[in-house]
Amino acid sequence: MTMTYGLLMAGLVLLILGGDTLVRGATTAARSLGVSPLLIGLTLVSMGTSAPELVTSLTAVLQGSPGLAMGNVVGSNIANVLLILGATALIAPIAVDRGAFRRDGWMLILSTAVCVGAVLVGTIDARWGAAMLVLLLAYMVWAWWGERRHRDREARKFEHMTEDAPDARGGFWSGLGLAVVGIALTIGGARLLVDNAVIVARDIGVSDTVIGLTVVAVGTSLPELVTSVVAAFRRHADVALGNVVGSNIYNVLGILGVTAVVTPIRVPPEIIRLDIWVMVAATALVILFVRTGMRIVRIEGLALLVAYGVYVTWLARDLLPLG
pLDDT digits (tens, 9 = 90+) for 171-227: 777 877 887 887 788 778 877 877 887 787 778 777 778 888 887 887 777 777 776
- Closest by CA to 60, choosing from 216, 205, 165, 178, is 216
3-state helix, strand, coil split of the chain in percent (to 5) is: 85, 0, 15
pLDDT, position 323: 42
pLDDT band, residue 276 (cuts 50/70/90): very high
- Closest by CA to 118, choosing from 315, 221, 251, 281, is 251
Distance CA 40, CA 26 (A): 9
CA dihedral 44, 258, 153, 88 (to 10 degrees): -100
pLDDT band, residue 74 (cuts 50/70/90): very high
Q: Which of 36-45, 67-76, 188-197, 314-323 has the lowest mean pLDDT?
A: 36-45
* 100-154 pLDDT tens trace: 677 778 899 999 999 999 999 999 999 999 999 999 999 888 877 766 666 555 4
Distance CA 224, CA 201 (A): 25
- Alpha-carbon torsion (175, 225, 113, 293), positive or negative: negative
